Amino acid sequence: MSDVLSRPARFGSNSGQPVTRRDGIAKVTGSAIFAADNAPDGFLHAVFVPARIARGRVTHLDTEAAQAHPGVTHVITPQNRPPLQGDPSEKPTMFSFRVEVLQDNTVRYAGQPVAMVLGETLEAATEGARLLAPRYDAEPARVRLDDSVPYAFDPVGFGLPADVEHVEGGHRAAEKVIDVTYETASQYHNAMETHAVVAEWDGDRLTLDMPSQALALSCAGYAHFFGIPAENVTIRSPYLGGGFGSKAFPTGPQVLAILAARMTGRPVKLMLTRQQMFGPVGHRGATCQRLRLGVDGDGALTFIDHEGLAETSSFDDFVEPAAGASQGLYAARALRSAHRAVRLDIGTPGPMRAPGEASGSAALECAMDEMAEKIGIDPLEFRLRNYAETEPGTGRRYSSKALRECYAQAAERFGWAGRSLESGQMRDDNGLLVGWGMGTALFPCPMFAAEARATLHPDGTALVETSAADMGQGAWTALAQIAADSLGLPLDKLEFRAGHSGLPDAGVAGGSGHTATAGGALHAAGIDVIRQLGEIAAADPASPLHGSGNAGFVARDGRLHVADDDSRSEAFADIISRAGGAGITGNGSASRPPEDAEKHAMSSHGAVFAEVKVDPDLYQMRVTRLVGAFAAGRIINPRLAESQLMGGMIWGISFALHEEARHDPRTGHIVNADFAGYHVPVNADVRGLEVITVHEDDPYVNALGIKGVGEVGITGTVGAIANAVRHATGKRIRRFPIRIEDLL
Ligand code: MOS
């Protein structure tokens, strides 16, 4: 098939269809088996005890009381914990954090495991854990993001080189300058399915039922702790109830449950409670961001200087790279983004859906709105005046960028042209204050590395395999569509196996790059099959395709056609049967060659417009309309892509108005660590929500032209909502989430 290597790849009829989720019925009827649904013979329940202080030492655990409780089989503490082979402070893979696995009695953050209890029933283990009643020697905890803390350090690897002189030149050239500081709250990934594992040892082989966004990396990570080769670890992860970044890494509680299984010789099941999600499994760190912007007399940006202050734990170093959001968006003549971080007595933050961009663009989009207002021009017009034709930070050309179309289509649908420039001018029929705001969305499109295998059976059906993770985003459906097209088969002739570490490695379901990466590998595997099939047919005198090899073939509906003579074709099954009836297996891989990444800047873009209504007396805020238009390259499944983008925009509502983990300053404990106190939007908070996908052909981003839709929806939305609140009320709130009391 000669044409398949040209770009963009040739596509069949499955891609582009709004196919419903192939796993939908299994999920809504409860027949989908999630990790903690597994109950191997003789398994024990594990429950860990989270620290109730944020800094200090555990001085006493009532192990006798716990051990004496009926049904409790084991109490694991730092005193009797069996050794681990791998050092928990080491990072065995690029997707690793340091984990707390009862190394000692030290407490480094609230929620850290300080003991684990095993029991014959969940009730027994839970009661045993309660009976341990830890006593502490507490020290004052540092939990507030505050750069007076003497632990400030400069993380390397984020941000542009600090070209201060250049930026000061931009400052001197500016006619008007703003200097504003925005704060964003700490947020915790709260996937519907909490972290879980069912661990079972067989000699030095380990089988884990565990939700994972990165199966091969997780195998390598867990293998490190137990001193076994990565190939001895099997992870089964057919379904995930959400991930958002937090399920891509080995976590301390899961390591402890695996250790417990080895210690007892019995399978062990652990599932975190909702409260236990707040601490040991990552979060989006709070930020404090200072933005300085300058414009010349024409409203062209002379500089953007974006400094992010981020929190990290006392023992690891992930920081939210928020200021990076300013590197790729607006055509400022001078650009600087820099980060500092402070060590706090908190669990280590980690990547959480649109890490960096979500927090960074919230601040940037508000600052852009502030500048537009200062110079008295429409916020959309201000962004168009500063539209970047090449990536500002690097000068690279974009692989594609249909952002202008996004602005135009979303503004038109929203009715933006009718907006008053002044704040506080609009009221609805019920006397509510009405405000309109907008923001630009941007998220880069990284790729990981993936492999896949495709097997065409003699009956003309096929099996495709890759260890892809469906977190709920629909990978199981969209990836199957890509695979079916590469093989020229209807979707129902295809069996798609994923979610198992024994399959070819699909890489990481993260960075909004899973469809592009795993899909690229599936596509290549299908093409490898079709190439082999074509060679067989072309060499077979009995085939109508005999001798047509140089022209190439197109696979469609289970038949191979000569590329330049569609009337010459033969069914796959006939070709295989004459060749002896053995199935044909093909392999494929995908990753982005570094030279491609050097040549082009690659990002998904979008424009989000928000309407809020605010009660003039109570200041209750409602997002009444959100319209987002996004350009993200080829859309494999419009239904699923729109669903992803909507989910992102809803997260934007959450970021702007709801989500915040609050620490008790006295103990460092998170006081709202459950869904009663930690607010996320419910249906009543989500009114008119509209997603437009803007057509975009991208010949450079990858062979399939796919950019990714998983995270970009959050990025423009937060600023759009905050700007709408300002437009409604005249009040500029520089702290997220925006609360009623901020408006009083
Ligand atoms: Mo995401 S934070 O790349 O799972």
CATH number, residue 497: 3.30.365.10
- pLDDT band, very low/low/confident/very high, at 6 (cuts 50, 70, 90): very low
* Structural tokens at position 522: 């599936």
Kindly state the helix (H) or strand (E) to which residue 199 belongs, with its residue range. strand 196-202
Which numbered atom of ligand 1 lies nearest the CA of 354?
A: 2
486-524 pLDDT tens trace: 999 999 999 999 999 999 999 999 999 999 999 999 999
Count CB-CB contacts under 10 A for residue 596: 15
478/462 same-domain check: yes
- Cβ(245) – ligand 1 distance below 6 Å: yes
- Cβ(510) – ligand 1 distance below 6 Å: yes
442/453 same-domain check: no
Which numbered atom of ligand 1 lies nearest the CA of 213?
A: 4
- Cβ(511) – ligand 1 distance below 6 Å: yes
Least confident of 256-265, 561-570, 619-628: 561-570
Range of the domain at 18: 2-32+448-591
Which numbered atom of ligand 1 lies nearest the CA of 351?
A: 2
* Helix (H/G/I), strand (E/B), else coil: 407: helix
Residue found by looking up tokens 């684990």 in the block: 116
* Structural tokens at position 159: 């941000």
Distance between CA atoms of 177 and 293, rounded to whole angstroms? 6
- Cβ(552) – ligand 1 distance below 6 Å: no
453/440 same-domain check: no
601/737 same-domain check: yes
495/572 same-domain check: yes
* Structural tokens at position 474: 């629909």
614/739 same-domain check: yes
655/717 same-domain check: yes
* 126 domain residue, yes or no: no
440/455 same-domain check: no
- Cβ(355) – ligand 1 distance below 6 Å: yes
Can you give the pLDDT at residue 146?
83
* 221 domain residue, yes or no: no
Residue 687 near residue 721 (C-beta atoms within 8 A): no
Distance from Cα 513 to the centre of ligand 1, integer Å: 9
- Best residue for ligand 1 mutational test, from 94, 353, 514 (most atoms within 8 Å of Cβ): 353
Count CB-CB contacts under 10 A for residue 150: 8
- pLDDT band, very low/low/confident/very high, at 118 (cuts 50, 70, 90): very high
Q: Which of 591, 608, 640 is the last residue of a domain?
A: 591
499/605 same-domain check: no
Distance between CA atoms of 337 and 329, rounded to whole angstroms? 12
Q: At CB < 8 A and 24+ separation, what contacts does 561-570 make?
A: 563/1, 563/2, 563/3, 568/544, 569/544, 569/545, 570/537, 570/543, 570/544, 570/545
622/703 same-domain check: yes
Cα torsion 174, 178, 179, 185: sign? negative
Which numbered atom of ligand 1 lies nearest the CA of 509?
A: 4
Can you give the pLDDT at residue 338?
86
Can you give the pLDDT at residue 3?
34
**Residue 601, amino acid:** A
505/581 same-domain check: yes
Per-chain mean pLDDT for the chain: 94
- Cβ(356) – ligand 1 distance below 6 Å: no
Distance from Cα 228 to the centre of ligand 1, integer Å: 28
Distance between CA atoms of 250 and 442, rounded to whole angstroms? 29
Q: Which of 570, 591, 612 is the last residue of a domain?
A: 591
* 604 domain residue, yes or no: yes
Can you give the pLDDT at residue 550?
72
What is the ipTM score, two decimals?
0.97
- Best residue for ligand 1 mutational test, from 240, 244, 709, 715 (most atoms within 8 Å of Cβ): 244
416/463 same-domain check: no
Give catalytic residues, as residue numbers: 711
- Asked if pLDDT for residue 738 goes beyond 60, the answer is yes
Distance from Cα 278 to the centre of ligand 1, integer Å: 18
Q: Which of 538, 573, 591 is the last residue of a domain?
A: 591
Radius of gyration, alpha carbons of the chain: 27
Distance from Cα 216 to the centre of ligand 1, integer Å: 16
- Cβ(352) – ligand 1 distance below 6 Å: yes
192-230 pLDDT tens trace: 999 999 999 999 999 999 999 999 999 999 999 999 999
- Asked if pLDDT for residue 161 goes beyond 80, the answer is no
* 459 domain residue, yes or no: yes
Task: Tell me what the mean pLDDT of segment 637-662 comes to.
Answer: 98
Distance from Cα 354 to the centre of ligand 1, integer Å: 6
Distance from Cα 244 to the centre of ligand 1, integer Å: 5
* Helix (H/G/I), strand (E/B), else coil: 151: coil
* 453 domain residue, yes or no: yes
- pLDDT band, very low/low/confident/very high, at 365 (cuts 50, 70, 90): very high
DSSP E strand stretches across 512-618: 553-556, 559-562, 565-571, 584-590, 600-601, 603-614
* 378 domain residue, yes or no: yes
Which numbered atom of ligand 1 lies nearest the CA of 471?
A: 4
Count CB-CB contacts under 10 A for residue 212: 31
Task: Tell me what the mean pLDDT of segment 695-724 comes to.
Answer: 97
Phi, psi angles (nearest 5°) of residue 270: -130, 130
Which numbered atom of ligand 1 lies nearest the CA of 512?
A: 3
- Cβ(244) – ligand 1 distance below 6 Å: yes
Can you give the pLDDT at residue 9?
45
- Cβ(253) – ligand 1 distance below 6 Å: no
* 37 domain residue, yes or no: no
Number of domains forming the structure of the chain? 2
* 71 domain residue, yes or no: no
* Helix (H/G/I), strand (E/B), else coil: 309: strand
Distance between CA atoms of 374 and 299, rounded to whole angstroms? 10
Burial of 89 (0-12, 13-18, 19+ CB in 10 A): exposed
Work out the percent of the chain whose per-residue pLDDT is above 70: 96
- Best residue for ligand 1 mutational test, from 644, 711, 712 (most atoms within 8 Å of Cβ): 711
Residue found by looking up tokens 């695979």 in the block: 483
Nearest to 124 by CA among 63, 74, 77, 195: 74
Which strands form 494-497's sheet, in the order they lie side by side? Answer: 494-497, 462-465, 450-456, 584-590
- Asked if pLDDT for residue 549 goes beyond 80, the answer is no
Residue found by looking up tokens 């040739």 in the block: 10
Dmax (CA) of the chain: 85
Can you give the pLDDT at residue 186?
97
In sequence order, the 6+-apart residues with CB closer than 8 A to the CB of 55 are 107, 108, 109, 138, 139, 140, 141, 142, 345, 668
